[in-house]
Structures are given as C-alpha cells and as structure tokens.
Amino acid sequence: MHTDDAHSARLLDFIARYPRLVVLTGAGVSAGSGIPTYRDREGNWQHSAPITHQAFVGSDSARRRYWTRSLAGWPAVRDARPNGAHLALAAMERAGVVELVITQNVDRLHQRAGSRKVIDLHGRLDRVRCLDCEGLQSREDIQRHFAHGGVHPQPAPAAPRPDGDADITEPAADLQPPRCPACRGMVMPDVVFFGGAVPRDTVACCKAAIDTADALLVVGSSLQVYSGFRFCRYARDTGKPLALLNPGASRADPMAALKLAANCAPVLAAVANHLTTTPAAPPPR
Ligand SMILES: [Zn+2]
C-alpha cells in the first residue's frame, strides 16, 4: 500500500472510533499555499526570530522595522489560495466529522476554503486594530496608505513569513508606522504576536468544543507554541484521544494515541474523499 494510503486508512480508522473531531492546525497546513513554516522538521527557526508583542508596543524602531517588512510580506499572504489540506478539512466539516477548526494560522485560508466553524487562535492578518480605541480597519487600507505616501515595498530579500512579515532587517527610511484614522492611536495587526496573550474567552470556546467532541486532531504543527499545545494537554487531561498529522516531531508526540508522520494535504484529501463518497454506516440498533 502506498504510504499516504496507509496513513489515510489509519486516520479513517481513528475517525470511525471518534467521529466528531476538533482539529487544531498550524503552519504546515498553509505551507502548500506558499506561506512558509517558521520551523523546520527538527523544530529549528528557519528565519530570524519574529517580532514580539513587547517590542512592537515598546519600540518605535521595532514598529518601523515591522511595517517595513509587512509592507513586503503582506501581498503574498493576501494573494495566497487555499490548498488541498484546507479544502479537505472544509469537506470533512460538511461530512459532519469536523466540529471545529482551531487554527494557529492568521491567513484566513480555512474560511476561504469553505470551513464555517473556525477559531482564529492567533487572530487574523487581514485586519489592523487600534490599541487605544479598538477600532478595526482592513490591512489592505494600510497598504494603500503606504502607497499614497510614496512608500513602497523594498525589493528582495523579502521572503514571506507565516505572519506576513518578511526577512528585511533595516526599516525603510521614509516609513512612518500607520495611525488609527479615528483617534490617531497606535495600530497593530489584529494578531497575537509572540509574547502576546490569546484572549481568555477564545481559549474557553476552544476547550468547550473539545469537551463535546470525541477527539482532538492536530494537523501541520510541531506545537512548539504553548497557545496551541495547551489544547493537547487539555485533551489528555479530559480523556480525549489525540491524533497528530505532521511530517516532523512534535511536542505532543508522547501523549498521542495516533501519530502520522506525513504531509497533511494528500492524507486529508484521501480521508475527505472517502468520507464524501462512502455512505456512513447505519447507527447500531
Ligand atoms: Zn483608535
């Protein structure tokens, strides 16, 4: 049997036993859409470390550097398209298998693939939030604001990163960080940077979904970040089986009932195909 077929057969077997899943997704799911992962298979940083919440809020030069890089990195995220992994998870939701997707990605590709029940654990990059009045504006407005001001993305090296950042080390000389159009306050992407906190209500919603599901499936994440890893711990502590689909090692490997070391898109596509073409078994009498 082809390896992907073997993996999808094992995942289907898991789903037969635990038919209602909460799925936690990470950067590996969006890698096939051209948005790279932060870490390699060994969990090492592939780029310079990302900006922290503290640096963004506390340092004007850090903000200018962030917006310089974001100016170059955002179009790649904006223009990315869902790949087979996103489409398969949306099909699995329609088939009644996926109760909720909790994603650590900020690219909104699950929603664009058709998933309806999604929690953006780390926020969304297509919006910008005012730190003073909480007002929201679209990220694309910021891009237009820079363009009107005559500030344009620097040419290469501008490899996109998962948070829409890019590998540029020096801020553009003429770039001023954008301000809130309503109150002139400081704005930042509506995302949780490293060092920032996921809102407590969001965490509670995720845990409530795990409570009513049969199992937790993690896809495309090495779970190095606590904000995602906590749900694996929560599943373990509440007696919910954990399945992992990720090519490399992950922090939750020791607590997993099922570990599939594979790229997610082909495995999920085969599972979704099976679920949508094979009639469900009749309920036991
Ligand atoms: Zn404001």
pLDDT in tens, 33-86: 988 666 555 555 566 667 899 999 999 988 998 898 888 888 889 999 999 999
CA 179 to ligand 1 centroid distance, Å: 8
Percent of the residues in the chain that have a pLDDT greater than 70, as a whole number: 85
Q: Is pLDDT at 284 greater than 90 in this prediction?
A: no
Q: Which residues have their alpha-adjacent CB atom under 5 A from ion ligand 1?
A: 130, 132-133, 135, 180, 182-183, 185
Q: According to the annotation, is 264 in a ligand binding site? A: no
Residue 180, marked binder: yes
**Is the model's pLDDT at 88 over the cut of 80?**
yes
Give the chain's domains with CATH numbers. 1-35+82-122+197-278 (3.40.50.1220), 45-79+127-191 (3.30.1600)
Indicate the residue type of 150: G
Is 133 one of the annotated binding-site residues? yes
Does residue 229 have a pLDDT over 70?
yes
Mean pLDDT of the region 171-175: 71
Question: At 29, is the pLDDT very low, low, confident or very high (cuts 50, 70, 90)?
Answer: very high
Dist. CA 162 → ligand 1 center (Å): 26
Alpha helices for the chain (secondary structure H): 3-17, 27-31, 53-58, 60-78, 84-94, 109-113, 139-148, 200-212, 226-237, 264-277
* Sign of the dihedral through C-alpha 21, 11, 244, 41: negative
Strand pairing category for 187-191 and 242-245:
unpaired
Query: What is the per-residue pLDDT for 35?
Result: 84
Give the residue numbers annotated as catalytic, written as ranges. Answer: 122
Q: What DSSP assignment string belongs to 242-256?
A: EEEE-SS--TTGGG-
Q: Residue 4 phi/psi, 5° resolution?
A: -60, -35
**Cα 131 to ligand 1 centroid, rounded to whole Å:** 7
User: Tokens 């057969």 identify what position?
Assistant: 9
Q: 240 near 210, Cβ under 8 Å?
A: yes
Contact 124, 103 (CB under 8 A): no
Q: Output the CA 115–ligand 1 centroid distance in Å.
A: 31
Strand partners, 129: 136, 188
pLDDT reported for residue 83: 98
pLDDT for the residue numbered 285 = 57
183 labeled part of a ligand binding site: yes
The Cα-based distances of 210 to 102, 179, 202 in angstroms read: 10, 39, 13
Q: How confident is the model at residue 174 (pLDDT cuts 50, 70, 90)?
A: confident
**What is the tens place of the pLDDT at every residue in 120-160?**
999 999 999 999 999 999 999 999 988 888 777 765 444 55
